[in-house]
Structure 1
Amino acid sequence: MEQLLSFIERNTIRFLTHRKALKAYEIANKPKRTFMGEVKGWADALVFAVFAVLLINQYIFQLFVIPTPSMDGTLNVGDRVFVSKTIYGIEIYPSGPKILSKNRPVNRDDIITFYNPEYTSKGPFFDVLSQIIYMGTFSLVNIDRNEDGSIAERLYVKRAIGMGSEHIRFNDGNIEIKKAGFVDYQDDESFRSSLNLVDGPHRSIDASLYSGIKAWGSLFGYQEAGLDMNSAPLYLKSQYASVQNDNYPDDMYAFEKAKYRTKHLFDPSDSSARSAYASYRRGIYVPHDTVLPLGDNRDNSRDGRYFGPVSQKKINGSVRFLFWPLNRIRYMGNK
């Protein structure tokens, strides 16, 4: 027993002495802190942090700042939100193919983010760099700007309204939906009520202004057709008076529809005008595996009315949580 205790004592002293010696050696030979060493350490930490942020933004969730009033009432300009990047599958790289997307379709009324079909690329290097800076700074810095200095919208945030195999048409800003297999159209308000959908979508233009907007479009059609404006009917001029002080039509869709209708009536042989007017009158068919996205601020939104349905492959996320401003924090999963 004494031999065992003696063995334990000797080895314990040897171990502690060795540790003390190692510690003394480390203290004596500790590398000196230099300016360049500190810079390198901070740079390594920064690169790692940015890389981690990019991975999180690309594959898990992304912070997004609402840039326009197209979703006003639901999401206002300047609101900051969390966008789930996994709900519809995961993009391998920005705007690239998705994996794990099977059986993860977009549902009606989801608030979605997708790549702007009308976005003009500034080149692959700038596109990648701007995305890295935007995501790496948690959406605080966006160098992707239009010529007028406004933020270029590479991503849109809208609500999924039209689903595959449905027809959507627009009359004086009001939406009518014909579901697959049905003959009749149903107005948007009663359609949403029948499905117990949220009341986020809304109108902001007074219905009485539409006569003026359509008259404006018709007169513009006269002008583009090279006709004498003095020959235009007096009722059009009278109706136009209600909006003549506006710089821009409140509903460009209704304006364009009236313009092409006028051009087609004056010259039925104008195939371009005839085709355009037929398209406006017929509305939009939503093919399978696509959705028609529209803004909740129906009268001030550049949305699917203008660029058409969007493939579900191009939808990269869904708004799930509003975290800024603090007085409006809320979960968005129930829209």
Structure 2
Amino acid sequence: MVKYFAWIQHITETGLTRRLERIAREKAKRSEKKTLKGELFSWLDAIVFAVIFVLLINQYIFQLFMIPTPSMVETLLVKDRVFVSKTSYGIELYPGGKKIFSNRNPLRDDIIVFYNPEYDSKGPVFDVLSQIIYMATFSLINIDVDEDGNMRQRLYVKRAAALGGETIRFKDGTAYISGAGQQSFTADPTFREENALSDGPHQSLDPSMYPGMRSYGALMAYQDASLSNKAPAHLVQTYQSVSNYQGLVDYYQVSATRTKTAHQLNPSDLKLRSSAAHYVQGAYVPHGYVMPLGDNRDNSHDGRYFGPVPLNTVIGRVVFKFWPLNRMGGVS
């Protein structure tokens, strides 16, 4: 690895020396006679050098990133632009490639940037090219869009909520954490207060909405089983209390209740039994993984849905907001 970096240093120094010599020669020639071709070549040379310099900085030191969704509100707002440290957890040799110097893992509460585990790749060439263009233009140009022109999320920004060896489960929007080797679970707000952690993670849904959402999930299970006419009256009545609600919905809780009810309606289905048990027992975070969650717990597609992510897919840590100017400052 030392030889690798010595080779990079040699190539860089040689390139810079030759470039400076060429610039000196061009200045000498320019003083004698300026030509359109010479001016264009000079500008092109400067642009190419700047792009290469920006790519190296973005790949190995820090990257600029624009927040695309409200999953981290109020900590990070949509269209906030942030600096991402690319040296915090090791350095990728190339976008999506092997990491080196990865001797530090995310700490609890770090705001991490990682590859979306549900990302549908268009192929390695396109993936690398889109990353290069995104980095070279300081996140201003993103060619990785869907058929409707919307930006596809190759990278996610979330908070490291649970670490290897821990178990985390959710009920009515609240996370409950059990430490490695422990049997009891502690509600996330209490856990955060006891350990002097960030107060960024929060819930905005009114707790009184959850009975109606649970009833909605249960009624969906009856509908799936073609037993809508057998649904208990109390479920229908409770759902009617929120039937006209048009705000945020905790789809994780809806799915949990739907699965639990489906298992009760068909206890012989082993797949349903396993899925229902997962919601009750929670998600175990294996060593070498981290569980990412959004601060805006009621409006975040995160580890609740796709599970813990491998540490080698975590590429950096958000350390600073630089735009808009009235929100400039550190991130915690």
TM (normalized to structure 2)? Answer: 0.88
Structure 1 match to 2:40: 39
Distance apart, 1:181 and its partner CA: 2.0
**Segment of structure 1 superposing worse, 195-204 or 118-127:** 118-127
**In structure 2, how many angstroms separate the alpha carbons of the residues matched to 1:123 and 1:32?**
48
**In structure 2, how many angstroms separate the alpha carbons of the residues matched to 1:27 and 1:298?**
63
**Residue 71 of structure 2 corresponds to residue 70 of structure 1:** yes
Aligned CA distance change for structure 1 residues 28 and 313 (closer, same or farther; 3 Å): closer
Aligned CA distance change for structure 1 residues 33 and 210 (closer, same or farther; 3 Å): same
**In structure 1, how many angstroms separate the alpha carbons of the residues matched to 2:30 and 2:240?**
87
Q: Deviations over 1:161-200 (max 9, x none)?
A: 1011111010111111110122211111111111111101
Aligned residues with identical type, % of pairs: 57
Contact 2:222 2:230 in 1 (8 A): no
The aligned runs of 1:1-335 (5 Å cut-off) are 32-102=33-103, 104-227=104-227, 229-246=228-245, 250-332=249-331, 335=332
Provide structure 2 residue ranges, at least 5 long, that are not aligned to the other structure.
1-26
**In structure 2, how many angstroms separate the alpha carbons of the residues matched to 1:146 and 1:243?**
34
Matched residue SS, 2:56:
helix
Q: Deviations over 1:98-124 (max 9, x none)?
A: 11112x121110000000001111222
Distance apart, 1:330 and its partner CA: 0.8
Matched residue SS, 1:150:
coil
**In structure 1, how many angstroms separate the alpha carbons of the residues matched to 2:40 and 2:275?**
61
Q: In the comparison of the two structures, how many residue pairs are matched?
A: 306
Aligned CA distance change for structure 1 residues 111 and 230 (closer, same or farther; 3 Å): same
Distance apart, 1:60 and its partner CA: 0.2
Structure 2 match to 1:5: none
TM (normalized to structure 1)? Answer: 0.87
Whichever residue aligns with residue 75 of structure 2, its letter is T
Contact 2:177 2:187 in 1 (8 A): yes
**In structure 1, how many angstroms separate the alpha carbons of the residues matched to 2:29 and 2:321?**
54
Provide structure 1 residue ranges, at least 5 long, that are not aligned to the other structure.
1-25
Matched residue SS, 1:322:
strand
Q: Deviations over 1:59-107 (max 9, x none)?
A: 00000000000000100001000000001111111122211112x1211
Q: Deviations over 1:246-304 (max 9, x none)?
A: 56861111011111111111111222222211111111001112110100000100101
Aligned CA distance change for structure 1 residues 29 and 159 (closer, same or farther; 3 Å): closer
Distance apart, 1:245 and its partner CA: 3.3
Whichever residue aligns with residue 242 of structure 2, its letter is V
Aligned CA distance change for structure 1 residues 149 and 223 (closer, same or farther; 3 Å): farther
Matched residue SS, 1:291:
strand
What's the RMSD between the two structures over aligned residues? 1.8
**In structure 1, how many angstroms separate the alpha carbons of the residues matched to 2:201 and 2:30?**
69
Matched residue SS, 1:230:
helix
Matched residue SS, 2:197:
coil
Aligned CA distance change for structure 1 residues 28 and 51 (closer, same or farther; 3 Å): closer
Structure 1 match to 2:24: none
Aligned CA distance change for structure 1 residues 139 and 225 (closer, same or farther; 3 Å): same
**In structure 1, how many angstroms separate the alpha carbons of the residues matched to 2:77 and 2:308?**
24
Contact 1:291 1:309 in 2 (8 A): yes
Contact 1:114 1:156 in 2 (8 A): yes
Matched residue SS, 2:170:
strand
**In structure 2, how many angstroms separate the alpha carbons of the residues matched to 1:293 and 1:122?**
25
Contact 1:249 1:255 in 2 (8 A): no
